[in-house]
Homo-oligomer: A and B are copies of this chain.
Amino acid sequence: MAKYKEIADYLEREILDGKFDKTKKLPTEDELIKHFEVSRNTIRKAINQLVNRGYIYQVQGSGMFLRERSVTDYINLGSLRGLTKDLPSKIIETKILALHVLKADEVKAKQLRCEVGTDLYYIKRLRIVDKEPFSIEVSYFRKDIVPYLNEDIATSSIYTYIIEDLKLSIGFADKVINCDKIDEESAGVLHVNPLDPALIIENTVSLTNGTIFEVSKSIFHYQKAKILNRINFK
C-alpha cells in the first residue's frame, strides 16, 4: 500500500481510539513529517484522506482539528465498510432470502451496461440489527466479474470478499436516495404497516476501470435507518 494511505489509516485508527480527544487538535504537519519521516506532500496527501473521510478539518495558520463525533449510529454513505462498521454498537445479522444466477433482462442490462442475457448473481438479503429487521437489500452482480458467490460470503461481507479475495479494486459509485410508500411484501418482512414510508437507496458500483459490476436497491426501515453524509467544500 502507498505510504500516504498507510499514514492515513494509522492516523484514522488513532483518531478512533480517541488519541486526540483532549486537545481536539492533531499534530502539525511538521511534526507528522518528522514522525513518519516522509516528505510534506506525502503527509498532506494522508491528511487529505482524513479530511475527505470526514474526520478532521484544517484551518490555515492555525492547525488541524477533529470534527465533532456523531454520537448516534448512522449509515455512512461515503464508505464501503458496510453496516457492521457503521453501527459498531449494534448486533448485525444477515439472512439470505435468495441467491441464484439469472440472465440479465433489458432493464438490468441497461443498468449494468452489459448485454441482455449476461449471467448475473441475484441476491436478496435481510439485514437484522439488534434482533429487529432493518433493511432489505437486493443486489445484482455481473458473474463474469464476480465469478463465484455463496451463502457464506453473502452472509458475512461480499465486499470484503471482492476486495481481498478477488483482488478487484472498486472505483466509484452512484447512489440515488429517495423515499416512498413501502410495498406490501417488504412491509411484512420489515414489520411495518403497508403504506408506511420506506427509505430507499439505489446503488450503481463501478471498478476503477469504469466497469459497472453491481447494481443494488436497499429498502430501509423508516424509523431505524438514518444516513449521515459529511461533506467538505474546497
The answer to whether A231 and B179 have CB atoms under 8 Å apart is no
Which A55-78 residues have a C-beta within 8 angstroms of B? 57, 59-60, 62, 65, 67-68, 70, 74, 77-78
- Pick from B57, B179, B227: contact of A210, CB below 8 A: B57
Report the contact-size class of chain A (Cβ under 8 Å from the partner): 35 or more
For A175, give its contact among B170, B180, B231, B234 (CB under 8 Å).
B231
A172 proximal to B (CB < 8 A): yes
Copies in the complex: 2
B177 touches A177 (CB 8 A): yes
Residues of chain B within 8 A (CB-CB) of A170 are: 233
Contacts of A178 in B (CB 8 A): 199, 222, 225-227
Q: How far is the CA of A181 from the CA of B179 in the complex (A)?
A: 11
Contact B172–A208 (Cβ < 8 Å) = no
Known contacts A178-B222, A197-B198, A209-B59: A171-B234 contact under CB 8 Å: yes
Judge whether A176 is part of the interface by a CB distance below 8 angstroms: yes
Q: Is the CB of A197 within 8 A of B172?
A: no
Is B231 in contact with A177, judged by CB distance below 8 angstroms? no
- Indicate if A184 sits at the interface (CB-CB under 8 A): no
A31 to B106, CA, bound (A): 39
The answer to whether B197 touches A233 (Cβ under 8 A) is no
Write out the residue numbers on chain B whose beta carbons fall within 8 Å of the beta carbon of A59: 208-210
A225 and B52 CA atoms in complex are apart in Å by 26
- Contact B226 A171, beta carbon cutoff 8 Å: no
Chain B hits for A62, CB < 8 A: 209
CB-CB nearest in chain B for A171 = B57
Residues of chain B with a CB closer than 8 A to A176's CB = 74, 226-229
Give min CB distance, A56 to chain B, whole Å: 10
Query: A8: shortest Cβ distance to chain B, in Å?
Result: 11
**Those 4 A-B pairs whose CB atoms lie nearest each other, nearest first:** A197-B197, A179-B179, A177-B227, A179-B199
